[in-house]
Structure formats: C-alpha cells, structure tokens
C-alpha cells in the first residue's frame, strides 16, 4: 500500500482504512508520533501510538498516545489540562511515523513544564539547557 | 543524568559526554532522530541513530543515521547528494529522541523526492497525497 502511494500524484486520495491496515507496527505494536505546534512549527515532543491510540486521536481530535513506561493509553493532558488539540495528522512514506500538527494547551508539552521536550541543545562538548522548568507538570 | 538536567535552569551547561553516556538506547541500540529544516521548520523525516551514527553526525556536521532495513550506517545523501547539513542538535528530556535542525541539500529529504516524508495527510476517511514524486531519489 505505501509503495503504491509513493508513486501517487499530488492530490490523489486513498481510503484511510486501507492505509491504516497497512501500517507496519513495530514489534510492540507501535509507531512513532511527532507533535509539532501547528502555527509556530516548534517540534514539541516524540511519543508513541498503537492502533487504539491513533483511532482515539482521530475520533476525539485530541492527541492520545501509548505510554511505554506505564503500558496504557496516555490521553495527553487528561489530568493536567495540557491537552493537544489536533489540527492535522500526516503519515510518512513508509507508514511507521506520524506527524501531528497540534495546538498545545496549558503550560507546555513537556512534563517539566517547558514548551518542548527538546531543550537540551548540543553546544560543542557541552549541553546547554534552554528554558526553565515550571511547577505545572504536563 | 536526564532527571538531574530536568531541574536545571535556562542556560545551565552539562558535559556532553556525560549526557551521551546516559542515553537510554532501545533494545536495538537506537534512538529516534527527527530532521527539521532549520529555516522553514518543516519536519522532513524520522530516522534512527545508534551511538556511532550520533558521533559521526557530531564529528562531520552531516546527518548520519542507522538504517534498520540495511543494518548499517546511513550517511544521508552520500550517493545522491541529498545531504543534510547540521545547524543544531537537541536531545529531549529523557534522552531517547534527538531533533536535528538541518539544511536539506538536493531534491528533498524523502526517498520519493518529496521535500518531506510526511506527505500523506489524513482528510476525513481518506488520505490525500501532497507533493509529487520526482525522478531524483534521495
């Protein structure tokens, strides 16, 4: 399915269910999910989705991931209010990664309260931290 | 190490080698690597890095990944010329993902020739393809 789509022209359409059925889930039944703030284009975080998480995200319009550490669905912001409202979802060329354009609500995408999880910038032989943690943990 | 960095203030520095030594590589020895075009902020692709790929990327200033399908280092664009010049590298809060700000050279980041791998946009119960494939395969 994905190799067929590779050769498709701009604007060509395929049935979503057929595409989802062709997703090459990894050995844990997961694909990688990148969340990007839809307007600023800041990359917020990388998480994981199984089929159930993807279907719930499509149904509710809010990002739902699979928590590998807790072994359960992770409805992002369910308790903290730091939800991610979905603006668009794109699958990649081989279907093992998904890009979510979201509108991050609340304090930030990161559990430290920073807007993005990618706050550790490599600078020569050091890491420099960008952004302060806040009390509100998302 | 990463939990210590979580509480660091903006601008605080840590020794890169200590941070790299604390990376929680997965069972295949990999972390996820997101490539983002540094100026347009378009998310280009998701790939994988092992320690060797990360070290080579740091050394050369060009994106080098680990190809899971071929089981070898993947010096992006080595034969096609579609290299990714590194502008910055950021590790995430728990160290299992890296964000590369790159300047994509050549025809595009995707092996189909499209600028980004994320060309399959979900639109209701369909996928709509954005962008045409080109002959130059990167």
**B89 interaction partners in chain A (CB closer than 8 Å):** 121-122
Sign of CA dihedral B104, B105, B107, B111: negative
Which of the residues A39, A113, A118, A131 would you substitute to probe the B interface, choosing the one with the greatest number of B C-beta atoms within 10 Å? Answer: A118
A23: left (phi over 0), alpha (psi -120 to 50) or beta: beta
Higher pLDDT, B132 or B33: B33
How many contacts does A have with B, using Cβ atoms within 8 A?
A: 164
Q: What is the mean pLDDT of residues B76-105?
A: 96
* Nearest-angstrom CA–CA distance, B82 and A83: 37
How high is the pLDDT of residue B79?
86
Q: Which ranges of A61-104 would DSSP assign to H, the alpha helix?
A: none
B80 is written with which tokens?
């096609």
Model confidence pLDDT, tens digit, residues B2-27: 999 999 999 999 999 999 999 999 99
How high is the pLDDT of residue A11?
96
* Percent of all residues in chain B with a pLDDT value above 70, rounded to a whole number: 97
How high is the pLDDT of residue B48?
98
B70: left (phi over 0), alpha (psi -120 to 50) or beta: alpha
- Domain boundaries in chain A? 2-107
Sign of CA dihedral A122, A36, B113, A17: positive
Q: Which fold has domain A2-107?
A: Ubiquitin-like (UB roll) (3.10.20)
Model confidence pLDDT, tens digit, residues A11-47: 999 999 999 999 999 999 999 999 999 999 999 999 9
* Nearest-angstrom CA–CA distance, A30 and A102: 20
Question: DSSP 3-state assignment of A28?
Answer: coil
- For the domain with range B2-109, which CATH number is right: 1.20.1530.20, 3.10.20.810, 3.40.50.720, 3.30.70.270? 3.10.20.810
For residue B138, is pLDDT > 80? no
Distance of CA B41 to the CA centre of its chain: 13
Model confidence pLDDT, tens digit, residues A52-105: 999 999 999 999 999 999 999 999 999 888 999 999 999 999 999 999 999 999
């Amino acid at each position: 399915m994905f190799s067929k789509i590779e050769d498709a022209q701009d604007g060509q359409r395929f049935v979503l269910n057929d595409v989802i059925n062709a997703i090459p889930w990894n050995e844990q039944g997961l694909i990688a999910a990148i969340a990007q703030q839809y307007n600023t284009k800041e990359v917020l975080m990388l998480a994981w989705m199984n089929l159930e998480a993807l279907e719930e995200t499509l149904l509710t319009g809010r990002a739902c991931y699979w928590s590998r550490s807790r072994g359960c669905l992770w409805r992002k912001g369910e308790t903290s209010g730091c939800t991610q409202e979905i603006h668009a979802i794109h699958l990649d060329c081989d279907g093992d990664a998904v890009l979510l354009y979201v509108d991050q609500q609340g304090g930030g995408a990161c559990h430290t309260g920073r807007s993005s999880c990618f706050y550790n910038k490599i600078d020569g032989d050091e890491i420099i931290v960008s952004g302060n943690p806040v009390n509100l943990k998302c």
